[in-house]
Structure 1
Amino acid sequence: MSVTETDRPAYLADTHTGLPIPGEPVFTTHEETRRHRKQRLAAALRLFGKYGFGEGISGHISVRDPEHEDRFWVNPFGVSFNLVRVADLICVDSAGNVVEGKHRVNPSAFVIHSAIHEMQPGATAAAHGHTAHSRALGALGRLLDPIDQESAAFYNRQVLYEEYEGPSVSAELGRDIAEKLGDNRAILLRHHGLITVGGSLDEAVHWFFTYDSCAQVQLLARAAGTPKSFTHEQAVAAGDGFGNEQLGWFSFQLLWDEIVREQPDFLEED
């Protein structure tokens, strides 16, 4: 629930949600920003591995380079989420050339992420995976219904992508996905998986985790009966809080603390 009153009770912080959420870090150089983003990217990939979002060679997370707007950092082809380190990350330009790093790029990662970063300026980062819950929901051709607070974060902010012509390796398909995504924060690919985006890597990855857990809840609820959805007014109110970008960014910091404590080797840079 957002708080807009001028005079707030002492227990509410001076933020949109009333929660004591700090601001994002600000860096003075491209090098500092790049290092921060690469560390967050490696952490996100390890978290994908930890929470079972790996599916063979499938799945990728990207973040735009802070200096070169036509480049993005992404996980390399053929390296397990559970093993990725900062040193393994690759930087890819708009033509698909690996300009930094020693590994190859996944063709699907290039066509999808390059198009999103080019066509959606607000998408600093994008996360894609073939999770069981997103694939099941996509097979049903259903988006998330606003049946709880978390799913309200995607109310009027998600889209279903119906087309399927095989693995995503053509530039045309990547551009079509990016175009259909628009300014939404999630696109569910029927017969494929899920993509979420955000103004930071932290936010994009949080939305991915939340969408997947909401898909699980919806599948469970529909299997048990007929879940009751929010009214439009309720969904908007819940989405204003649980869909807040600052809250999305901060929620990832808890996962960051968790993975740094458990798997600090992902921070290795050489």
Structure 2
Amino acid sequence: MDVSASCAVHHIILHCNSASTSFSGGVRYLYIGRINSSLFSTYSPVFLNMSPPSQISTETNTTAVPSSVTVTSSRGYTLGERGSHNIAKGMPHPYPVPKFTDKHEERKWAKQHMAGAFRVFARKGYTEGTAGHISLRDPVDPTTFWINPLAKHFGLIKASDLVHCDEHGNVLPDGPQSAINAAGFAIHSAVHKARPDVIAACHTHSIYGKTFSAMGRPLDMISQDVCTFYKSHSVYSDFGGVALEAEEGKAIAASLGDGKGVILQNHGLLTVGQTVDEAAYLFTLMERSCEAQLLADAALRPGEKLKICGDEEAAYTEYMAADPETLYTEFQPDFEMELYHNNDFLN
């Protein structure tokens, strides 16, 4: 990326509806926006050096299906019990996953956290018309689940708005009598059937997720953060259009396998978890990882390659920081921020 040597980079701001390209000396540049400089009263244009595009082909099958990982540490690092105690020092970690003896109380708590997850998604800009859904397996009757009502903005959803439905898509009487998204039901019901361990699933058409999904490849392990998905995410490359049919949902669930998430080519992202907090954090992390991957790929100069984390280091990081309890904990700062801004979603 060529910018003035003294320029302090703050934000990349997109100002154009479509990217424009220019050519200089046979090198292709992609104009993506402007950089805010503290040294200038105006914005300076930014161009990313892009190597000539090559022909890309994709296959209509899944890739990078999760596989078992053997964790070792040649550096002598301790491989203790997994859990969020590994990220706390001095005192116990402040956000243990609550344990309930009353399933109705657990339902109330889980629905409140689900509504909070929608507020987080709204604040992060994951909305796209009526697309996008979070589902929650009901603690009282695990054969049923809760899902958001059709066409309700994520930023307005409250716990009391969530719709209770059975495995056939019938809206149950103990919740709002609201329509649900047909595609959302097809995808989420199939995931919950295929994965009894999955309590919650998240899917939206977020901008970086759907952009990276067009590549038809899994994420590279280019940072500590993305190592959370080391050998635990897949690519569903057989896009069959809007997922209104049960077969499309089943195919997506099969592609997910036993992983934490799946990149739906030409579609978006889907993540799962043992709590809605885990699934929601994983979604935000996968979205940011797609953004980081796109930026890293775009910033490469001709002949350069990305430095990929080694398998041992990636596996160790996943083991120590990507268990359900730790991932639940990782979501709590965002949840608390929503409580601070407006806690009406608890109602």
The alignment's TM-score, normalised by the length of structure 2, stands at 0.72
Report the CA distance between 1:4 and its aligned residue.
4.2
**What CA deviation, in whole Å up to 9, does each residue of 1:73-96 have, x standing for no partner?**
111101000111111110110110
1:109 pairs with 2:179:
no
**What CA deviation, in whole Å up to 9, does each residue of 1:82-119 have, x standing for no partner?**
11111111011011011021211100111111111111
Report the CA distance between 1:217 and its aligned residue.
0.7
**Alpha-carbon separation, structure 2, partners of 1:157 and 1:88:** 32
Amino acid at match of 2:201: A
1:92 pairs with 2:165:
yes
**Alpha-carbon separation, structure 2, partners of 1:168 and 1:185:** 20
**Alpha-carbon separation, structure 2, partners of 1:244 and 1:52:** 27
Report the CA distance between 1:23 and its aligned residue.
2.5
**Alpha-carbon separation, structure 1, partners of 2:318 and 2:273:** 15
1:15 pairs with 2:85:
yes
Amino acid at match of 2:157: V
1:146 pairs with 2:221:
yes
Larger radius of gyration: 2
Please tell me whether the aligned partners of residues 4 and 16 of structure 1 are also in contact (alpha carbons under 8 angstroms). no
Report the CA distance between 1:15 and its aligned residue.
3.0
Hey, what does 1:214 align to over in structure 2?
289
Hey, what does 1:231 align to over in structure 2?
310
SS in 1 for 2:156: coil
Moved more, 69-78 or 239-248: 239-248
1:191 pairs with 2:252:
no
**What CA deviation, in whole Å up to 9, does each residue of 1:23-59 have, x standing for no partner?**
2111121110000011011000111111000001000
Please point out which of 241, 252, 255 is paired with 2:331: 252
Higher share in helix: 1
1:64 pairs with 2:64:
no
1:52 pairs with 2:125:
yes
**What CA deviation, in whole Å up to 9, does each residue of 1:185-239 have, x standing for no partner?**
0100001000000111111111001111111111101101132101111111222
SS in 1 for 2:154: coil
SS in 1 for 2:278: helix
Structure 1: stretches of 5+ with no match in the other structure: 7-12
Structure 2: stretches of 5+ with no match in the other structure: 1-72
Amino acid at match of 1:60: H
Hey, what does 2:197 align to over in structure 1?
122
Hey, what does 1:10 align to over in structure 2?
none
Hey, what does 2:60 align to over in structure 1?
none
Which runs of structure 1 show a deviation greater than 6 angstroms over 4 or more consecutive aligned residues? Answer: none
SS in 2 for 1:98: coil
What's the RMSD between the two structures over aligned residues?
Answer: 1.8
Hey, what does 1:9 align to over in structure 2?
none
Q: 1:234 to 1:55 in 2, by over 3 A?
A: same
**Alpha-carbon separation, structure 2, partners of 1:241 and 1:217:** 22
Amino acid at match of 1:160: V
Amino acid at match of 2:160: A
Hey, what does 2:151 align to over in structure 1?
78
Hey, what does 2:35 align to over in structure 1?
none
The alignment's TM-score, normalised by the length of structure 1, stands at 0.92
Report the CA distance between 1:149 and its aligned residue.
0.6
